C-alpha cells in the first residue's frame, strides 16, 4: 500500500474521534470540520516526512486545534504556536494531549458527533447523508452518487441539515447514564438506516458501499461501549446479513432468495464475527430488537442447508420481536416461519388481518402470492403478484415477481383453464 493510501486510511479511521473532540472544543460543527481539514492537509505534508504518529487521532486533534487557534492569533498579531514539524511523534505535547483526551472523552465525543446527525427534525435520508458527510467523511459527490441525486442537490440537502443541527442546542456536557442510553439507541437506529440504505441498493455499487461504512461505524461504537448487548446485536445483524452479499444476486443482477443462495459464497469470517457477537450479547440476558433479529439471522447462518433451518426457533424469536416492537412487517416476517412450521394456510390466516395496513407494501403481496402459489391457488397468486410488481422498489424485485408471473402464465396457458 502506498504512503498516501495508508495516510488516507489512518485519517478516515481517526476522523470520528478527531472531529468529535474538535466539536467539543469549538462547539461549532463548521469550525470543527475546518480545523480537521486543516490538520489533514498538514498530515499529508508532515507524515510522509516524519513517519505516521503513534496516535493519529491525538495528532489531528492537537494540530487541528492549534491551526484554528493560530488563525485567531494571527489575526490579533500574537505569537504563533510552534509548527507541527516540531511536534514529532509522541512529542511531549502530543502525549499530554493524548492523556487529557482519555478514553472516556473519546467515547462521548464520537457518540455526540453521531447523535447530532439524529436530530428529530431531520428526515431519515438527511440523517444518513449528514452522518456520511461529517462522521464518515465521504465527499458530497460520493453521497450524491449513492442517493442518485445531483451533487448540487446533495450539497444543498447537507447544508440545510447542518443548519438545522446548528440551530438546535447540542449538549456538550458529559452525558448522564440515562441520556447516554437514549443517545446510543438513537444512534443505533440511524446506523441501521445507513446499513439498510446500502443493503437495498441492488446493483448501485456507490450505495452498496454504505453497508461497509455502517459496519465500520458500529464496530467503532461497540469498541467504545463494549458492554452494550444491543450494539453487539446490531453489529452481529449487519455482519451476518452483509456476509450474504456475494450470494444475493445472480450473474444477471436478479435477487437470489435466502433458500436458493449458494451458502458456500457467504463470507465466512464475517458470519463468524456475527455469531461470536450474538453469543456475547445473549450472555447479558437483556434482550432487545437488534439482538433478536441477529439471533434470527444467526439461525439461518448456522444452517448448512435451508432444509436444516430451525424454523420453530425462528418462529419463537419473531414472536419475541413482535412483543418488543409490534409492527405488521414483523408479523409478515413471522408468517414466513409459520408457513414452514404449520404450512401456507396458517401463514395466510396470520397475515390476512394485515391486508389494510400493508396494502401498499411490496413484500405483503409478494408473500401472499408465494403462499397462494404453494397452495395451488393460481388465480389468487396472480392477483397478488400483479399488485406486488406494481409496488416493486427496485428492478431486481420486479424481475423476481415477473419470474413467478411468467411461470404461472406458462403453467396455466396450455391446460389450466380448459381442465376446469
Partner 1 sequence: MLYALLCYNDEDVVWAWDKAQEAEVMGRLAVVRARLAKAGKLGPSLRLLPTTAATTFRKSDPPLVIDGPFAETKEQLLGIYIIDVADLDEALAVAKDLGDANPGGAYEIRPLALYNEGSRDAVAKGAVTA
Phi/psi of residue 249, nearest 5 degrees = -130, 145
Q: Min. distance of Cβ 18 from partner 1 in angstroms?
A: 12
Q: Min. distance of Cβ 282 from partner 1 in angstroms?
A: 9
Nearer to partner 1, 60 or 235 (CB): 235
Nearer to partner 1, 27 or 283 (CB): 283
Scanning the structure block, which residue is given the C-alpha cell 481539514? 37
Q: Min. distance of Cβ 129 from partner 1 in angstroms?
A: 20
Phi/psi of residue 119, nearest 5 degrees = -55, 130
Q: Min. distance of Cβ 187 from partner 1 in angstroms?
A: 16
Q: Min. distance of Cβ 266 from partner 1 in angstroms?
A: 14
Q: Min. distance of Cβ 218 from partner 1 in angstroms?
A: 9
Contact footprint for partner 1 (CB under 8 A): 1, 5-6, 9-10, 12-14, 56, 212, 216, 219-220, 222-223, 226-227, 232, 235, 269, 272-273, 275-277, 279-280, 283
Nearer to partner 1, 276 or 352 (CB): 276
Nearer to partner 1, 219 or 402 (CB): 219
Nearer to partner 1, 161 or 271 (CB): 271
How far apart are alpha carbons 93 and 103 in whole angstroms?
18
Estimate the crossing angle of helix 151-167 against helix 124-134, to 10 degrees: 90
How far apart are alpha carbons 178 and 171 in whole angstroms?
14
The answer to whether the Cα torsion of 329, 130, 43, 26 is positive or negative is: negative
Nearer to partner 1, 12 or 394 (CB): 12
Nearer to partner 1, 9 or 41 (CB): 9
- Give Cα 323 to chain centroid, integer Å: 24
Nearer to partner 1, 70 or 228 (CB): 228
Q: Min. distance of Cβ 138 from partner 1 in angstroms?
A: 13
Q: Min. distance of Cβ 90 from partner 1 in angstroms?
A: 15
Q: Min. distance of Cβ 40 from partner 1 in angstroms?
A: 15
CB 129 within 8 A of CB 143: yes
Nearer to partner 1, 232 or 255 (CB): 232
DSSP, res 138? -
Nearer to partner 1, 269 or 304 (CB): 269
Q: Min. distance of Cβ 356 from partner 1 in angstroms?
A: 42
Amino acid at each position: 500500500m502506498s504512503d498516501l493510501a495508508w495516510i488516507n486510511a489512518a485519517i478516515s479511521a481517526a476522523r470520528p474521534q478527531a472531529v468529535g473532540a474538535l466539536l467539543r472544543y469549538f462547539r461549532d460543527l463548521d469550525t470543527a470540520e475546518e480545523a480537521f481539514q486543516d490538520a489533514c492537509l498538514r498530515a499529508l505534508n508532515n507524515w510522509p516526512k516524519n513517519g505516521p504518529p503513534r496516535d493519529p487521532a491525538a495528532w489531528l486533534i492537537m494540530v487541528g486545534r492549534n491551526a484554528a487557534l493560530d488563525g485567531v492569533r494571527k489575526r490579533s498579531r500574537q505569537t504563533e504556536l510552534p509548527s507541527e514539524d516540531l511536534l514529532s511523534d509522541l512529542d511531549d505535547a502530543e502525549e499530554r494531549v493524548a492523556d487529557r483526551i482519555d478514553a472516556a472523552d473519546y467515547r462521548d465525543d464520537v457518540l455526540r458527533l453521531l447523535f447530532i446527525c439524529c436530530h428529530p427534525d431531520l428526515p431519515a435520508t438527511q440523517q444518513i447523508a449528514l452522518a456520511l458527510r461529517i462522521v464518515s467523511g465521504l465527499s458530497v459527490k460520493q453521497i450524491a452518487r449513492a442517493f442518485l441525486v445531483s451533487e448540487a442537490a446533495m450539497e444543498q440537502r447537507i447544508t440545510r441539515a447542518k443548519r438545522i443541527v446548528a440551530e438546535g442546542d447540542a449538549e456538550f456536557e458529559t452525558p448522564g447514564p440515562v441520556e447516554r442510553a437514549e443517545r446510543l439507541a438513537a444512534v443505533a437506529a440511524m446506523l441501521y438506516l445507513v446499513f439498510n440504505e446500502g443493503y437495498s441498493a441492488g446493483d448501485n455499487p456507490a450505495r452498496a458501499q454504505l453497508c461497509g461504512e455502517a459496519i465500520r461505524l458500529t464496530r467503532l461504537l461497540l469498541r467504545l461501549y463494549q458492554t452494550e448487548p444491543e450494539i453487539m446485536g446490531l453489529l452481529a445483524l449487519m455482519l451476518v446479513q452483509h456476509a450474504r452479499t456475494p450470494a444475493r444476486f445472480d450473474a444477471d443482477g436478479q435477487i437470489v432468495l435466502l433458500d436458493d443462495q449458494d451458502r458456500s459464497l457467504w463470507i465466512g469470517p464475517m458470519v463468524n464475527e456475527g455469531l461470536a457477537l450474538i453469543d456475547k450479547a445473549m450472555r447479558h440476558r437483556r434482550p432487545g430488537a437488534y439482538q433478536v433479529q441477529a439471533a434470527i439471522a444467526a439461525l439461518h447462518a448456522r444452517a448448512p442447508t435451508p432444509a436444516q433451518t430451525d424454523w420453530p426457533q425462528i418462529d419463537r424469536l419473531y414472536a419475541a420481536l413482535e412483543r418488543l416492537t409490534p409492527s405488521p412487517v414483523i408479523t409478515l416476517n413471522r408468517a414466513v416461519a409459520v408457513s414452514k412450521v404449520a404450512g401456507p394456510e396458517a401463514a395466510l390466516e396470520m397475515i390476512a388481518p394485515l391486508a389494510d395496513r400493508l396494502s401498499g407494501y411490496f413484500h405483503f403481496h409478494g408473500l401472499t402470492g408465494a403462499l397462494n402459489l404453494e397452495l395451488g391457488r393460481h388465480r389468487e397468486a396472480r392477483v397478488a403478484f400483479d399488485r406486488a410488481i406494481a409496488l416493486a422498489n427496485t428492478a431486481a424485485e420486479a424481475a423476481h415477481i415477473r419470474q413467478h408471473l411468467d411461470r404461472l402464465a406458462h403453467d396455466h396457458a396450455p391446460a389450466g383453464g380448459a381442465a376446469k
